[in-house]
Amino acid sequence: MSGRFHSSRRVFLCNAGLAIAGFQLKPPIEPLHPSPALDPPTLASFVDPLPLPQLARPAGTRPHPEKPGESIAYYRMPMREALIQVHRDLPPTRMWCFGDSFPGPSIETESGRAVMVDWENRLPARHFLPIDHTLEGAGPSLPEVRTVVHLHGGRTPPESDGYPEKWIVPGQTQTCFYPSAQHAALLFYHDHAMGINRLNIYAGLQGFFIVREARESTLHLPAGAYEIPLMVSDRLLTRDGQLSYPVSPDPDRPWTPEVFGDAILVNGKLLPYHDVEPRRYRLRLMNGSNGRFYRFELSNRAAFHVIANDQGLLHAPVEARRLPLAPAERADIVADFAPFAGSNVRLVSDSFDILQFRVAKEGGYEGADLPSVLEEPGEGVNETAAVRSRRLTLDERLDKVQQSMGMLLNNTHWSAPVTENPTLHTAEIWELVNLTDDSHPIHLHLVRFKILDRRPFDRFEFMGTRTLRYTGPAQPADPVESGWKDTARADPGMVTRILVPFEDYAGRYVWHCHILEHEDNEMMRPYEILRPGKTSG
Ligand code: C2O
Ligand code: CU
Ligand code: CU
């Protein structure tokens, strides 16, 4: 937060016992909830309506920081402790939220229409989830409650991008400028504070940011009430409805390598239902989980069309029956409920029910068919345009008893000097050589990229001699991930190659695994885009 859009670090009065959403909050904080674990199947299914995230309303306008005479929409987004009803039969859950809801209110803008947001940290002074003070950037001398908001998928200047170390504390405000000069896409904002963002996001600090484009409305896609954003995030809950976050057996090092909740929330509800008409809907799916991967399907195994992924529309709709989404990945599907008039269809993933659609018997008039082409071609970048390739490993550190001590990118800690320093207005190929047993969703800030291919290689030979020997042919990206991406799965035993044009801004950003437990334990690195003419060190 430096330079032109310097943050106004305003001080807010911290008053304990805030009355939020009609509930009197208890003063902070007992640490971990002693109540026994909830077994979600013991709850009644499909008794709550699906919440639709409310739209954020601008608090006014601000002068455009780059274009004198123009003004842009201005939002104030407070982060506060709130009580969220995740299921009819559970007591409300203490969460940390943007604007008192989970997900937070959706910010919507048009492509090229900049917005300004004040992210106001009004959280309590103590955290209610287990901080591991041995992690980089989360030392015991630092304030427990720190936040810095990042717009995931946003083409944002570096000073507004939410660098993990530029956090603020309760009472302070982070001011961000989002030019939004990018294609229509489902983006999301979330906390990114160094060493604790897995806890802050688990607590609820996440919301949608939707970029629209005039072109999109000429395609006659389902819109308005027929377009539904769905944030899917798993949690572990106690029987009295409170969040529980798992810890390691070592009380001094509570970090745990992965979290898998058995309560799958969609837009903050556990097992909700939604009334639909017998017609097509555009479901905008986002994996908002810390570590869980989904394979979304309809319960009747009906086919649907995937029309977009992370950074916007695909070239053409892709028919599929199953949609895999790793943490932070998004995809839009068009599902047609017309054949199922009068019955129920569920959105499921493996053995989990997520959401029930109750399809009305009648109604559902609709006009045009799904277009066969969504996005003009010619937007592609060619592999030959890349000025260089970087070979980057994904590594796991194991201690003597084979316990994971965390993962690294290129075997390099967060604090080491920048090693990835592409030049602005060039494209590079990044080869992600996965030496671990897990799939890691790798995310680069600022840019959008294409997945070129994934190719199996001999892991042991590579670890022994650093020579890369492929053991099979390269597999192209799945058609459902063929569009512009900002997060891509690097599967175990594979080299995943992505083609990345570096455009718009020079400066310091980060790239990381979006399994939040990995990210918080140094599976994250800074990278720096250099101005043309400057050479790297
Ligand atoms: Cu979704 Cu670095 O973030
Ligand atoms: Cu991001
Ligand atoms: Cu990872």
Q: Which ligand approaches the C-alpha of residue 441 most closely?
A: 3
444 CA to middle of ligand 2, Å?
6
Q: pLDDT grade, residue 7 (50/70/90)? A: very low
Neighbours of 255 (CB within 10 A): 22
Residues 6+ apart with CB under 8 A from 494: 434, 454, 455, 456, 457
**Residue 461 or residue 369, greater confidence:** 461
Fold of the domain built from segment(s) 383-529: Immunoglobulin-like (2.60.40)
Separation between Cα atoms, residue 41 and residue 352, nearest integer Å: 10
* 445 C-beta closer than 6 A to ligand 1: yes
- What is the rounded average pLDDT of the residues 53-71? 96
| pLDDT over 70, % of the chain | 92
Confidence band, pLDDT 50/70/90 cuts, at residue 32: low
Pocket lining: 330 vs ligand 1, CB cutoff 6 Å = no
Task: Evaluate if residue 407 carries a pLDDT over 60.
Answer: yes
Ramachandran bin of 460, using left for φ above 0, alpha for ψ from -120 to 50, beta for the remaining angles: alpha
SS (H, E, C) 381-450: CCHHHEEEEEEEEEEEEECCCCCEEEEEECCECCCCCCCECCECCEEEEEEEEECCCCCEEEEECCCCEE
Give residue 376's pLDDT.
76
Which residue type is seen at 208?
F
C-alpha angle with apex 140: 134 to 143, nearest 5 degrees?
A: 125
Distance CA 497, CA 454 (A): 6
Integer distance in angstroms from the first to the last C-alpha of the chain? Answer: 25
Point out the ligand nearest to the CA of residue 327: 1
Q: If you average pLDDT over residues 5-24, what whole number do you get?
A: 32
pLDDT given at position 536: 52
pLDDT of residue 15: 30
Residue 382's pLDDT is 83
Q: Tell me how far the alpha carbon of residue 180 lies from the centroid of ligand 3, in angstroms.
A: 28
372 C-beta neighbours (distance < 10 Å), count? 7
| Residue of minimum CA distance from atom 1 in ligand 1 | 152
State whether the beta carbon of 190 lies less than 6 angstroms from ligand 1.
yes
d(CA 106, CA 108): 6
| Residue 152 pLDDT | 99
> Residue 516: phi, psi to the nearest 5?
-65, -30
* Contact criterion met (CB below 8 Å) for 260 and 486: no
Cβ atoms of residues 253 and 263 within 8 Å: no
> DSSP label at 58?
P
Question: CA angle at residue 272 from 269 to 278, to 5 degrees?
Answer: 140
DSSP character at residue 464? H
What type of residue is 307? I
Give the model's pLDDT for residue 368.
Answer: 73
pLDDT of residue 35: 83
The model's confidence at residue 13, banded by pLDDT at 50, 70 and 90, is: very low
400 CA → ligand 1 middle, Å: 32
- Segment 343-357 shows an average pLDDT of 97
Q: Would the CATH topology of 224-359 be identical to that of 383-529?
A: yes
- Between β-strands 272-276 and 352-359, what pairing exists: parallel, antiparallel or unpaired? parallel
Q: Indicate which ligand has the atom closest to the C-alpha of 192.
A: 1
pLDDT in the model for residue 379: 59
- The third-level CATH classification (topology) of the domain covering 224-359 is Immunoglobulin-like (2.60.40)
Whole-structure pTM value: 0.92
Q: Check whether 228 has a pLDDT greater than 60.
A: yes
Closest residue CA from atom 2 of ligand 1: 445
> Average pLDDT, stretch 274-278?
97
Burial class (CB in 10 A: 0-12, 13-18, 19+), 65: middle
Contacts with 141 (C-beta within 8 Å, 6 or more apart), sequence order: none
Provide the pLDDT confidence category of residue 402 given band limits of 50, 70 and 90: confident
The predicted pLDDT at position 377 comes to 67
What per-residue confidence (pLDDT) applies to 21? 35
- Which residue is listed with tokens 């939040």? 516
- How far apart CA 427 and CA 503 sit, in angstroms, is 9
- Predicted local confidence at residue 535, as pLDDT: 59
**Is the model's pLDDT at 238 over the cut of 80?**
yes
Domain ranges of the chain: 224-359, 383-529
Q: Note the pLDDT tens digit of each residue in 446-494.
A: 999 999 999 999 999 999 999 999 999 999 999 999 999 999 999 999 9
Q: Of 319, 268, 334, whose CA–CA distance to 478 is shortest?
A: 319
pLDDT tens readout for residues 496-521:
999 999 999 999 999 999 999 999 99
Q: How far is the CA of 487 from the centre of ligand 1 (A)?
A: 9
Q: For ligand 1, is residue 525 a contact (CB within 6 Å)?
A: no
For residue 81, give Cα distances in angstroms to 32, 89, 105, 336, 381: 16, 21, 15, 39, 45
Query: Which band of pLDDT confidence, cut at 50, 70 and 90, is reported for residue 6?
Result: very low
Question: How far apart are alpha carbons 412 and 416 in whole angstroms?
Answer: 7
